Amino acid sequence: MNKKVAVGVIAIVVVIIFFMVRASHRPNEQTTPLPDTQQEQTTNGDQTVPSDLKTYSDPSGFKFNYPVDLTVNSKKETDQSIYSSLEITSSKKQGDISIKIIETSITKIDDWFKQKKIKTSDLKTVKLADLEAKQAQINGELITAAIDQGALIVITANYQMDKDFWLKANEKVIGSFAFVNPASSQTSDTSDSSSGGGDDVIFEGEEIVE
């Protein structure tokens, strides 16, 4: 009986040693770095900005993305009712995209288009940030406009001879347009950082509750 017990103990010891040796030969786990494609992207708030786009933030309280091969210029305006006036241009393509934020007493965007002699039947409803905007294409231009808290926002793509190029760029601007806190906005990529002559205006969008 003692012989059987001794054999059993030896067998258990052999099994324990076997598993200890096997465990000691396992390779150490290593952490794999993020792919290069993820490291090349930059973040814009909670959203990731593709590497082929840049972000422009305006002191008036809005921002948008635009293609890296374009340039955003802030234009000086003597009209005190213009809060911000921007021009997006290309060194290789004819045309441009203009963005203007203007003080207005108009409360309905359809009425502004009527003043421009543009029929309401020619208007298309689109979203601009959290606002309902209207869009019309006329005389080589695609005009997108909205009204927020007494401010008229007009984005005009003047596509000249390069319609596809400018309409695609305009889609990037319209689709990424957002309102931000003016205190945290920083002007970037401008050849003239001067803003309009009016006082700063804060754009709240439709979510504000009075």
- CATH number, domain with residue 188: 3.40.1000.10
21-41 tens-digit pLDDT? 565 555 444 433 333 333 334
The model's pTM? 0.68
**What is the Cα gyration radius of the chain?**
30
CB 155, CB 99: distance < 8 Å: yes
Residue 148 lies in a domain: yes
Answer whether residue 156 shows pLDDT above 80. yes
Total number of domains constituting the chain: 1
CA distance to 10, 42, 127, 130, per residue, from 46 (Å): 62, 11, 20, 17
Residue 199 lies in a domain: yes
State the number of CA atoms in the 13 A half-sphere of 31 facing the CB: 2
Residue 106 lies in a domain: yes
Domain that holds residue 136: 52-207
What is the percent of the chain where pLDDT is above 90? 58
DSSP bridge partners of 99: 86, 155
Of 149, 103, 143, 150, nearest to 124 (Cα)?
A: 143
d(CA 110, CA 147): 10
